[in-house]
Amino acid sequence: MQKDGQESHRVAVSGDVEVSAYLEIAKGGTKAEPRAKPEEKGGTEREAVVIVDFGSQYSWLIARRVRECRVYCEVMSYDAPWDKVAPLRPKGFILSGGPSSVYEPDAPQAPAYVYESRLPVLGICYGMQLLSHQLGGKVAPGTRREYGLAVLHQNSVSTPLFDGLPPEMPVWMSHGDRIEEMPPGFTVIAYTENSPIAAMGNEHGLIGLQFHPEVVHTPQGKTILQNFLYKVCGCSGNWTPGSFAAEAIQRVKEQVGKGRVICALSGGVDSSVVATLIHRAIGDQLTCIFVNTGLLRREEVERTLNTFQKNLKVNLVYVDASKRFLSRLKGVIDPEEKRHIIGEEFVKIFEEEAAKIGKVDFLAQGTLYPDVIESASSGNKAVATIKTHHNVGGLPSRMKLALVEPLRYLFKDEVREVGLALGLAEEMVYRQPFPGPGLAIRIIGEVTKERLEILRAADWIVMNEIKKAKLYRQLWQSFAVLTPVRSVGVMGDARTYGYMVALRAVTSEDAMTADWARLPYDVLARISNRIVNEVPEVNRVVYDISSKPPSTIEWE
């Protein structure tokens, strides 16, 4: 294994045999020219690692863990061309897990540039098996599958990957295949009772792990990843919210030039950070457009206008399109159709307002990485479409404006850190996420003016009680859902037939997964009592105790 201080970019797989020689016997992959180490630029250069995705359900989680180590990374499909990877100037690669078996005829393979780059590589589960399969080892179905917790035992081989870690530690396994023969030059560095080769590596930074270091069930997993990033790839962890903000501002300047930008402003943290970044980059070339869709929460319009006109000093256009959106949504029940209608109407309004402003070239949006992942479809075979987000999947192909999306590869908590680095108020930065389609997807069934007012009243009570209980910052989201279910009740000795409201409160790190919040019973009781007493149309309140997966956070 690579020793501390050794240059991580000069790699030979075994003895004097170059990596490219191994590619001649690799089973699949496209031949590519070896990639030299990028020339250093002046100042502090952003360090990046590329995660090559083979369809793992954990690829996004690997990205989160790498980011937590203050190293920038992006998830790329295994068939991404080098031209897409090269601009990142990677210092290493991580090969993800995946559902396939490497020996199957059509199984995805690591692209040739991964090896020919002469950079460190960490293969996880399927990625480890690919290292063996492509570099001359042997992978076969295991006699026993291994799923769940296992105890990892280190061998006596010295490796920086396990620096500071105990000789035995719990890890999370999820595999049916096993490595029977390692590639030439590799050594076993750890094993479990069922996996004689649970971790392997050579002295030049090519490492394979049969277990998943990225999941919480591997308690020392983050340390293992950090050791790979710092001690094998040579990263220093210089990717901070402040450095991202500086980079993003520079990229916006380069992309926009002298063009004009309109920004889709909602008042949430995503669009607020986007507007602030772009305003810092191009000043008055930016015009923010705040659209009142009629689908916003109580006092949302007044609060947003006050914040941006007084605090951020940006050019702001206010458009009241509430009647227009309600008209388009009349009779619509399907949630995907709601999302597409709202997305299309947004863009139409932006184009109309842009025409009034003059020549406009770009539309800025607060798209985040979870939006991109959940909206991905056939472009990445690894990910199925769960639901389209209005700022990713709802844009019509005829849209005339190019997109500016400086937060596209950030998770929500990272956006909040960037917002604080930009000097935004904590009240704005830590606001709970609110969906782009607004209350339209918190009303199950048709959206009407009457139902919107019922939901606004119930949601206002939820927010008020959550804040009074000092739970707001502990929760990822907390809100009310108006269901189409009506039930019999009794109030003042009279029969009622009212709506049922569902409460939803979840904890999460990034919305990719979430767990229902164990709210105190007294808080639930106060919320329920207030809703049925203060919202005449509602006579029943229920609490959603579903996690994500299998449920999503929003009901639609």
How many angstroms separate the CA atoms of 342 and 226, rounded?
42
Angle between helix 412-421 and 269-282 (nearest 10): 40
Q: Which secondary-structure segment (H or E) carries 401?
A: none
Q: Is 267 exposed, middle or buried (0-12, 13-18, 19+ CB in 10 A)?
A: buried
Structure tokens at 508: 């999460």
How many angstroms separate the CA atoms of 495 and 486, rounded?
13
How many angstroms separate the CA atoms of 317 and 339, rounded?
23
**Percent composition of the chain: helix, strand, coil (DSSP 3-state, to 5):** 35, 25, 40
Q: Where are the alpha helices (DSSP H) in 358-442?
A: 369-375, 412-421, 426-429
How many angstroms separate the CA atoms of 367 and 475, rounded?
21
Q: Is 473 exposed, middle or buried (0-12, 13-18, 19+ CB in 10 A)?
A: exposed
Active-site residue list: 125, 212, 214
Structure tokens at 18: 């170059």
Structure tokens at 338: 């709601």
How many angstroms separate the CA atoms of 479 and 374, rounded?
21
Going through 163-285 in order, the beta strands assigned E by DSSP cover 168-181, 187-191, 199-201, 206-209, 261-265
**CA 67: distance to chain centroid?**
11
* Contact residues for 194 (Cβ-Cβ < 8 A; gap 6+): 142, 144, 146, 150, 173
Residues in the chain: 556
How many angstroms separate the CA atoms of 102 and 99, rounded?
10
